[in-house]
Amino acid sequence: MFPLNQWYVAGFSWELQDKPIARTLLNQHVVMFRTGSGEIAALENRCCHKSLPLSCGTIEERGVRCGYHGLLFAPGGACLEVPGQARIPVKARVKAFTVVEKDQILWIWMPREEGGTPTCEAPDYQVHSDPRYRFRGDVFHYDAPYQLIHDNLLDLSHLGYVHLKTIGGNAAVHMNAELKVEAAGDQVRVLRYMPDSSPPPTYLGAWPFAGRIDRWQEVEFNVSHLNIWTGGADAGTADMRDPQRGGFHMRGFHAITPETETTAHYMWTMAANSHPDRPDMTDLVYEQTALTFQEDKEVIEAQWKNMQRHSGAPQVDIHVDVGPNRARRVIERLVKENTQAAPQPVAVP
């Protein structure tokens, strides 16, 4: 059901505190933790002794200790200690996943075959360390399939209808925005430009615009995450296609990690710049963004419930569906490649 041999986002650095974290990722039950020595780990969330979730245990200097009989497991999955006996059974180990920490993001490798190792580096996201921006983020849980969230983020025409109090604006302007869709390999880009627009409430709260603005929305779809760069500048003062343009910028990181076929994790951050004549507005931007994403969550979950009620009912595409449809084709192709690459059973004569 999911593209494999891929890096997915498992969480954020600040989530790893003094307790293990349980999270289901692509139907895999995972426990994540940071040892006392600072090493991060992701293991199958099941003790090999009596199957208690390791997330019910405690973190120690060398690993995680089961909360039932005290078996201690290293970040690599090997059992280091069985209380009350000197001999450690050869089979006393749990499955380990490759996990790396980059730019305060926790990336986990999901292989096609158990034990498969990464074939590429985990993605970079340098916005988190860019001195021009400050950011905050959160994790949402969706009772809906992950590709419905892809659809939502690749089609920002809905802003004028769903997000009137935050980042919306005139619905007609959104629906008639100049639209360009590009696709290369496993990536899809959706570019939307809205010159001479009214600034939405979130923008006005964060930036002292003189009046109307030129507004842009650039969405980059990757299999595991989307990078969305939105913003605006006083009308006529900047080229909306210039990578170095000024004005107010919001750079969103949107990791969509399937939990199951019908549920998903939405792990996001929002970074913004501050106007020199205004105090830092990171908290305002975060709060407005969280409200916006909650509105999306309500719409998408209601959409999914209705799709189940009307299972099999046809849907009609319109012009704003080009980006989402191309992303779906990328996922479909990669899932098919998983199936073709899977080991085939050997026929027994």
For residue 333, what pLDDT is reported? 96
Residue 73 or residue 162, greater confidence: 73
For residue 191, what pLDDT is reported? 94
How much is the mean pLDDT over the chain?
92
How much is the average pLDDT of 160-187?
A: 76
How much is the average pLDDT of 273-298?
A: 90
How much is the average pLDDT of 103-113?
A: 96
Q: Measured between alpha carbons, how far is 332 from 264 in angstroms, rounded to an integer?
A: 18
pLDDT per residue over 318-332, tens digit each? 888 999 999 999 999
For residue 160, what pLDDT is reported? 74
Lowest mean pLDDT among 101-105, 202-206, 334-338, 343-347: 343-347
pLDDT per residue over 82-92, tens digit each? 999 999 999 99
Whether the per-residue pLDDT at 342 is higher than 70: the answer is no
Lowest mean pLDDT among 32-36, 142-146, 156-160, 183-187: 156-160
Whether the per-residue pLDDT at 341 is higher than 80: the answer is no
Q: Measured between alpha carbons, how far is 41 from 343 in angstroms, rounded to an integer?
A: 28
For residue 201, what pLDDT is reported? 87
Name the pLDDT band for 173 (thresholds 50, 70, 90): low
Which residues, including other chains, have CB under 8 Å from residue 226's CB and lie 6 or more apart? 150, 153, 154, 219, 220, 252, 254, 256
Residue 159 or residue 303, greater confidence: 303
pLDDT per residue over 129-159, tens digit each? 999 999 999 999 999 999 999 999 999 888 7
Tally of residues, the chain: 349
Helix H or strand E segment including 21: strand 21-25
For residue 193, what pLDDT is reported? 93
What is the distance between the terminal CA atoms of the chain, rounded to a whole angstrom?
A: 31
Would you say the pTM of this structure is higher than 0.85? yes
Percent of all residues in the chain with a pLDDT value above 90, rounded to a whole number:
81
How much is the average pLDDT of 238-261?
A: 95
Angle of CA points 111, 112, 115, to nearest 5°: 55
For residue 153, what pLDDT is reported? 95
Helix H or strand E segment including 325: helix 322-341
Whether the per-residue pLDDT at 347 is higher than 70: the answer is no
Name the pLDDT band for 262 (thresholds 50, 70, 90): very high
All structural domains of the chain, each given as residue ranges with its CATH number in brackets, are 6-110 (2.102.10.10), 126-335 (3.90.380.10)
Which residues, including other chains, have CB under 8 Å from residue 169's CB and lie 6 or more apart? 159, 160, 194, 197, 198, 199, 200, 215
